């Protein structure tokens, strides 16, 4: 099963390499990884998605918690949460296709952020499934390039991951 | 306000952290620090002949004293040479602080002379590591390193110091923190009371219990508490390799070591148990054999300070995260409170069964009248000669297993799973105790250069070399699984060890026949008590270590000799 693990990490050089190194060293798989500083400059917030059965995920969270620089950790998929990913996608847009792609982008609430005579660059935000559905809808054949941020997530309601 | 250079701060902070010895080897990036070492006398430095030995010596020191061992080496090759020693300490949860020099900060990343990314190289085998970026941070980093290395599940911590952090003419305020508090690191202080209560209930209801204890008991200094629990419950106790000595090896309730080369009775008891309590042990693959066949009828209680050890390979029915000592205290208190005792009748039947197993396979190896000795009898003779009271270190292989099986450890912190340098680290701190390194002619050559260090500092350890002229454990596997094709397990052109050690200024004794051994042992521990003695004993090269678990089998599936299987 897919899990979204969210971590507050000491914002120090080398901290990220300990997290990614742990996954390589123990044979765990990282599907997506996003990391950025938080409002507290001493902390980074890191979100990763990984897959495995309950036992494996338990080991992953325990091993992550052992890293000295991991301050707090939560498996967001254990409760209600919001997950978002941002994608920038360049698609071939010529002739009649241009209007069709624009319409599809509107349906998915995407924005065309750059235009050239034959190419649209579209920005799209949503769950991983939604981004994939968009690619499916416009037809993978006209996709020239995609770049995705990886999943970011936050718990719903009052629950907060902070010190 | 006291102003100091980074180099002086480092040495001062080591002293304040309780360091007596640094094991190390100087080099370019550490010259300022070595000058600071020279200008003081509070912290002593031991110059090794190879950096790997420094790490192993620090490790031996840590195992025997319970305090972190300290290693100091230069950048690049100096640092990378310590890797095996650091990995050993990491695997065995040994507190260690490794200070590595680094090239000047402005050169980092330029592939400078003797530059290696030591933090990157060591990352998978350290508990934590630090890079010094400002000289004034040195005291705090050192204090944190010792705190992290020695608390919770101990382990090695690396501090990488660029040369410009230690400049003699740049001085900063020295502030050593009174107390270390880290928001992201809080080792557990006690176990969960509800879980401990559940465990005690299970123990009291057990009919075929086994107490399986590991290195965690020794590291926590809780052998007395373990002994009290075993004796109070009248339960059988088995130890892992790391845990030998936690329960007395000569004790009635001791089953011997368990696992791949564990005793017949220990492995049989584990397989047939209905309750197994693992204390400071981690269900290593050398213990469990096939995990899906492990202890089929047992409820598992697992006490460990490291949550990631629990339910990693064997799922625990009652997991308890906490320091062994605190958990054992709480268990004893609950037993006192309950005033109950285990089912005496069931235990009597269980002990009867265990004693039958003991009798069925008690001899363990066949003695013969030939003058060529079996390695096991050499260990037994050494046990008698040292009255069972020596510190024993070993390397890895048959000799290690023979030492673990046939030297009955009655005290904790007396058995170290590896090497000559470890023996040196122990002897320097316990000069009045006997320290014996049991080794083989293959293993000893890996760090034999340290004979020179022993001469320099007067470290009279005893080296007992079980010389079978081959890499015994490799050969055994080749005999068992490769139809006796001894691919590169045969040591041709061995040196004359007696001459070799004499060249280093020590005593060498060669024993080729059984009749010579008693006198040789007497001389080793008597006449030459204050000298390093290398006892080179020829043993039967065809001997195998038994019992040996059959791969992919359960705990009880063992070879008992070359022809006999359970």
Question: What's the CATH number where A37 sits?
Answer: 3.30.70.260
Residues 44-103 of A with CB under 8 A from B: 55, 58-59, 62-63, 65-66, 68-71
In B136-175, the residues whose Cβ lies within 8 Å of chain A are 148
Question: Exposed (0-12), middle (13-18) or buried (19+): which is B403, by Cβ within 10 Å?
Answer: buried
Nearest-by-CA chain B residue for A73:
B184
Same structural domain, A74 and A120: no
Q: Is residue A140 part of a domain?
A: yes
Q: Is A130 within the bounds of a domain?
A: yes
Identify whether B163 is a catalytic site residue. yes
Superfamily designation of domain B375-545: Thiamin diphosphate (ThDP)-binding fold, Pyr/PP domains (3.40.50.970)
State whether A64 and A24 are in the same domain.
Answer: yes
Residue B494 has pLDDT above 90, yes or no: yes
Position B369 scores a pLDDT of 85
* A119 found inside a domain: yes
Please tell me whether residues A70 and A90 are part of one structural domain: no
- Tens-digit pLDDT profile for residues B105-158: 999 999 999 999 999 999 999 999 999 999 999 999 999 999 999 999 999 999
Q: Tell me, yes or no, whether A96 and A123 share the same domain.
A: yes
Q: Which of A58, A78, A98 delimits the end of a domain? A: A78
User: Of the candidates B280, B351, B316, B315, which has an alpha carbon nearest to the alpha carbon of residue B92?
Assistant: B280
Range of the domain at A29: 2-78
Domain ranges for chain B, please list them. 3-173, 193-360, 375-545
3-state SS class at B251: coil
> Is residue A27 assigned to a domain?
yes
Q: Is residue A66 part of a domain?
A: yes
Q: Is residue A73 located within the same domain as residue A86?
A: no
A65 and A122 both lie in a single domain: no
Q: Do the domain assignments include residue A157?
A: no
Q: What percent of chain B has pLDDT over 70?
A: 99
The pLDDT tens digits of the residues spanning A95-139 come to 989 999 999 999 999 999 999 999 999 999 999 999 999 999 999
Which residue among A29, A47, A78 closes a domain? A78
Same domain, A17 and A70: yes
> Is A17 in CB contact (< 8 Å) with chain B?
yes
Q: Given this model, what pLDDT does residue B417 score?
A: 59
Same domain, A124 and A142: yes
Residues A44, A62: one domain? yes
CATH class for the region spanning B3-173:
alpha beta
Pick the closest to residue B548 from B482, B490, B473, B438 (CA basis).
B473
With an 8 Å Cβ cutoff, are B123 and A18 in contact? Answer: yes
Please give the model's pTM, rounded to 2 decimal places.
0.94
- Shared domain check, A38 and A94: no
* B155-182: pLDDT as tens digits: 999 999 999 999 999 999 999 999 999 9
- Whole-number mean pLDDT of chain B? 95
Residues A18 and A33 in one domain: yes
Residue B367: the pLDDT is 82
Determine which of B308, B313, B319 to mutate to test the interface with A (most A C-beta atoms within 10 Å).
Answer: B308
Q: Is there a catalytic annotation at residue B462? A: no
d(CA B104, CA B115): 9
Tell me whether residue A148 is in a domain: yes
**How many structural domains is chain A composed of?**
2
pLDDT at B362 over 80: no
Q: Residue A13: its chain B contacts at CB < 8 A?
A: 131
Strand runs labelled E in B376-444: 391-394, 415-416, 435-440
Is A163 domain-assigned?
no
* Paired residues of B439 in beta bridges: B465
CA separation for the pair B42, B39 (Å, rounded)? 10
A69 contacts B311? CB cut-off 8 A: no
- Final residue belonging to a domain, choices A27, A46, A78: A78
In CATH terms, the fold of domain B193-360 is Rossmann fold (3.40.50)
The enclosing domain of A97 has a CATH number of 3.30.70.1150
* Three-class SS state of B150: helix
Task: Answer yes or no: do A58 and A94 share one domain.
Answer: no
């Amino acid at each position: 099963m897919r899990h979204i693990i969210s971590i507050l990490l000491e914002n120090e050089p080398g901290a990220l390499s300990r997290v990614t190194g742990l996954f390589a060293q123990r044979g765990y798989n990282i599907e997506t990884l996003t990391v950025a500083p938080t409002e507290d400059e001493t902390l980074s917030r890191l979100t990763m998605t990984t897959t495995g059965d309950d036992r494996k995920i338990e080991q992953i969270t325990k091993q992550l918690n052992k890293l000295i620089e991991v301050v707090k950790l939560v498996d967001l998929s254990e409760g209600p949460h919001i997950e978002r990913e941002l994608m920038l996608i360049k698609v071939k847009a010529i002739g009649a296709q241009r209007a069709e792609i624009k319409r599809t982008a509107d349906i998915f609430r995407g924005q065309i952020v750059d235009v050239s005579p034959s190419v649209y660059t579209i920005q799209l935000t949503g769950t991983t499934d939604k981004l994939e559905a968009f690619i499916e809808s416009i037809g993978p054949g006209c996709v020239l390039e995609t770049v995705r941020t990886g999943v970011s997530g936050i718990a719903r309601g009052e629950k907060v991951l902070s010190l | 306000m006291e102003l100091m250079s980074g180099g002086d701060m480092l040495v001062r902070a080591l002293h304040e952290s309780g360091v007596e010895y640094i094991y190390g080897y100087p080099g370019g990036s550490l010259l300022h620090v070595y000058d600071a070492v020279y200008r003081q006398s509070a912290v002593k430095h031991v110059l090794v002949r190879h950096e790997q030995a420094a790490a192993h010596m620090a490790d031996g020191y840590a195992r025997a004293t319970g305090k972190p061992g300290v290693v100091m080496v230069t950048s690049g090759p100096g640092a990378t040479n310590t890797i095996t020693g650091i990995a050993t300490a990491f695997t065995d949860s040994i507190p260690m602080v490794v200070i590595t020099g680094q090239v000047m900060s402005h050169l980092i990343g330029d592939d400078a002379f003797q530059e290696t990314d030591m933090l990157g190289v060591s990352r998978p085998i350290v508990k934590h590591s630090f890079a010094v970026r400002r000289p004034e941070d040195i005291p705090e980093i050192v204090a944190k390193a010792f705190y992290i290395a020695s608390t919770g599940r101990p382990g090695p911590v690396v501090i990488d110091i660029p040369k410009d952090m230690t400049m003699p003419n740049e001085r900063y305020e020295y502030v050593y923190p009174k107390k270390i508090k880290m928001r992201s690191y809080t080792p557990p202080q006690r176990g969960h009371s509800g879980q401990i209560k559940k465990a005690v209930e299970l123990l009291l209801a057990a009919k075929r219990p086994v107490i399986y204890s590991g290195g965690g008991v020794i590291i926590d200094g809780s052998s007395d508490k373990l002994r009290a629990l075993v004796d109070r419950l009248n339960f059988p106790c088995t130890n892992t390799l790391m845990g030998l000595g936690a329960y007395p090896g000569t004790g009635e309730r001791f089953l011997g070591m368990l696992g791949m080369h564990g005793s017949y009775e220990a492995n049989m008891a584990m397989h047939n148990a209905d309750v197994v309590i693992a204390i400071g042990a981690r269900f290593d693959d050398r213990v469990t054999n096939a995990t899906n066949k492990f202890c089929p009828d047992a409820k598992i209680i697992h006490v460990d300070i490291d949550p990631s050890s629990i339910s990693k390979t064997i799922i625990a029915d009652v997991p308890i995260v906490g320091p062994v000592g605190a958990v054992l205290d709480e268990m004893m208190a609950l037993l006192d409170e309950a005033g109950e005792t285990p089912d005496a009748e069931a235990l009597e039947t269980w002990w009867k069964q265990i004693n039958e197993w003991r009798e069925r396979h008690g001899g363990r190896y066949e003695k013969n009248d030939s003058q060529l000795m079996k390695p096991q009898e050499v260990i037994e003779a050494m046990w008698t000669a040292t009255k069972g009271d020596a510190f024993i270190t070993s390397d890895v292989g048959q000799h290690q297993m023979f030492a673990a099986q046939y030297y009955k450890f009655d005290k904790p912190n007396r058995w170290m799973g590896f090497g000559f340098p470890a023996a040196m680290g122990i002897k320097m701190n316990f000069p009045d105790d006997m320290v014996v390194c049991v080794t083989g002619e293959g293993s000893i050559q890996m760090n034999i250069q340290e004979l020179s260090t022993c001469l320099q500092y007067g470290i009279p350890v005893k080296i007992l070399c079980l010389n079978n002229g081959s890499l015994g454990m490799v050969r055994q596997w080749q005999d068992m699984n490769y139809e006796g094709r001894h691919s590169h397990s045969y040591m041709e052109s061995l040196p004359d060890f007696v001459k070799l050690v004499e060249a280093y200024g020590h005593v060498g004794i060669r024993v080729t026949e059984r009749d010579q051994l008693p006198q040789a042992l007497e001389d080793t521990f008597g006449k030459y008590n204050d000298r390093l003695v290398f006892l080179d004993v020829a043993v039967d090269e065809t001997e195998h270590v038994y019992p040996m678990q059959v791969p992919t089998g359960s705990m009880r599936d063992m070879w008992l000799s070359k022809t006999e299987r359970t």
